[in-house]
Amino acid sequence: MSEVEIAVNVKDIIKMLGWSLRKFHTPKWKKELISAGVIFYRMEGRPRKKKIYAFPSRLIKWVAHKAAKGEMI
């Protein structure tokens, strides 16, 4: 039986990347993460609000891909 991966929220994402919240919300990084399929939005709460989540495995693969290309994050 395979394990179910739990999506992490913004606090955990920036903790994994070692970024500040300000750097995470810059248009360059946010657009790149969305287009790469690393982060996604989910509607939660009352009233409904968009919240950002990511799967840790996809985040790690994205970082590895960027490092393999020699890019700094």
In a domain, 2, yes or no: no
Q: What is the largest CA-CA distance in the chain?
A: 43
In a domain, 64, yes or no: yes
**φ, ψ for residue 69, nearest 5 deg:** -80, -5
- Give the residue numbers spanning the domain of 31: 8-68
Q: What is the pLDDT of residue 1?
A: 54
Quote the number of domains for the chain: 1
Q: What is the pTM of this model?
A: 0.82
In a domain, 27, yes or no: yes
In a domain, 46, yes or no: yes
In this structure, what DSSP letter does residue 72 have? -
Q: What is the pLDDT of residue 54?
A: 95
7-42 pLDDT tens trace: 999 999 999 999 999 999 999 999 999 999 999 999
In a domain, 3, yes or no: no
